[in-house]
């Protein structure tokens, strides 16, 4: 399926020279535990803020967008703490290109390529937009509280009706004309090597609203951030990344893509055209 000249999207190996291997080993022995400890500290500090934001709210109120003091008081500290997590892991600078559109201009941020769990860094850069996650993740320590804080759209693998409800909820939110925050989605649906884009799933395009394509670049040597089906483990990705003195990342906001009437009626066609645009 993939020829010699076509990069395999699900394979990524970290190739180190002898010098790079020795440097990663020496620096990793010191930097890895320190950076993981700092990132964990920032992560844990986010938990009480997430709980406080929703404290005292009834279930019905939690299904509505957070407004007023609960939003302005807690949103900025969470953005700073989430940035602190990735700062601790070595992403000392985040280069931003372009301009992020407002929620009324582009209710959806379509981010690609999706290369790693470390792509979550884009959330702190874009103001913590709403994400889609598995419902099972709400039972995880800290993660569950952060998903509630984010008012994430949840989908369950056990409930046959969950996917339909998830699609309905996504369409309702992104069509609310700014009532809900922006939604961030990775239309590839899985992590890849980042050297090519795979077919976009239609989820981010079902509502037929404008989307803003967002490109993620990791111009590093060695390229340690990618986490794919065939390659180093997630722990190896974390080790090699934390063992670098610093890691580069660029978040590029492309112009808003306004769909044609044909694209609004055909989400697969809409997704295909945005994928082609981002792959140029």
Query: What mean pLDDT is predicted for residues 255-278?
Result: 97
With respect to residue 62, please indicate whether it lies within any of the assigned structural domains: yes
71-80 pLDDT per residue, tens:
889 999 999 9
CB atoms under 10 Å from CB of 234, counted, come to: 12
Tell me, yes or no, whether 10 lies in a domain.
no
Q: Is the pLDDT of residue 246 over 90?
A: yes
Q: Would you say residue 1 lies in a domain?
A: no
Residue 33: CB atoms within 10 A of its CB come to: 11
Asked if the structure places residue 124 within a domain, the reply is yes
DSSP state of 126: T
SS (H, E, C) 10-50: CEECCCCCHHHHHHHHHHHHHHHHHHHHHHHHHHHHHHHHH
Inside any domain, residue 5: no
Report which DSSP code applies to 203: G
- Residues with Cβ within 8 Å of residue 72, at least 6 apart in sequence: none
pTM of the predicted structure, to 2 decimals: 0.90
Identify which has the larger pLDDT, 61 or 84: 84
The answer to the question of residue 29 being in a domain is yes
3 in a domain, yes or no? no
- What is the distance between the alpha carbons of residues 232 and 176, in angstroms, rounded to a whole number? 41
Percent of the chain having pLDDT more than 70? 98
Q: Which of 6-20, 157-171, 186-200 is predicted with the least confidence, judged by mean pLDDT? A: 6-20
- What's the confidence (pLDDT) of residue 67? 87
In a domain, 174, yes or no: yes
State how far the Cα of 85 lies from the Cα of 244, in Å rounded to an integer: 16
Question: Average pLDDT for residues 7-18, to the nearest whole number?
Answer: 81
Q: Cα–Cα distance between 250 and 155 in angstroms, integer?
A: 30
Q: Domains in the chain: how many in total?
A: 1
Residue pLDDT, tens place only, 196-220: 899 999 999 999 999 999 999 999 9
Q: What residue numbers bound the domain in which 194 lies? A: 15-278
Beta bridge partners of 184: 109
Q: Please report the pLDDT score of residue 147 as a whole number.
A: 93
Q: Would you state the pLDDT for residue 5?
A: 57
């Amino acid at each position: 399926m993939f020829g010699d000249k076509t990069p395999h999207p699900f394979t990524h190996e970290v190739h180190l020279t002898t010098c790079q291997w020795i440097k990663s080993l020496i620096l990793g022995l010191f930097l890895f535990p320190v950076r993981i400890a700092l990132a964990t500290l920032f992560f844990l500090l986010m938990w009480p803020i997430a709980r406080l934001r929703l404290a005292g709210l009834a279930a019905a109120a939690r299904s509505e967008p957070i407004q007023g003091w609960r939003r302005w008081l807690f949103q900025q500290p969470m953005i700073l703490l989430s940035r602190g997590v990735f700062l601790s892991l070595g992403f000392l600078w985040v280069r931003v290109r372009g301009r992020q559109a407002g929620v009324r201009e582009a209710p959806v941020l379509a981010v690609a390529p999706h290369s790693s769990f470390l792509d979550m860094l884009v959330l702190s850069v874009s103001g913590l937009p709403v994400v889609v996650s598995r419902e099972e993740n709400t039972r995880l320590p800290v993660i569950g509280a952060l998903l509630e804080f984010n008012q994430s759209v949840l989908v369950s693998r056990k409930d046959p009706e969950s996917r339909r409800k998830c699609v309905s909820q996504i369409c309702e939110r992104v069509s609310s004309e700014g009532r809900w925050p922006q939604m961030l989605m990775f239309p590839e649906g899985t992590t890849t090597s980042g050297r090519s884009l795979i077919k976009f799933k239609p989820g981010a395009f079902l509502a037929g609203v404008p989307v803003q394509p967002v490109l993620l670049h990791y111009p590093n040597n060695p390229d340690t951030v990618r986490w794919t089906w065939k390659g180093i483990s997630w722990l190896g990705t974390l080790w090699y990344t934390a063992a670098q003195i610093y890691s580069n990342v660029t978040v590029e906001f492309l112009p808003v893509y306004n769909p044609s009437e044909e694209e609004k009626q055909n989400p697969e066609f809409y997704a295909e055209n945005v994928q082609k645009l981002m792959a140029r």
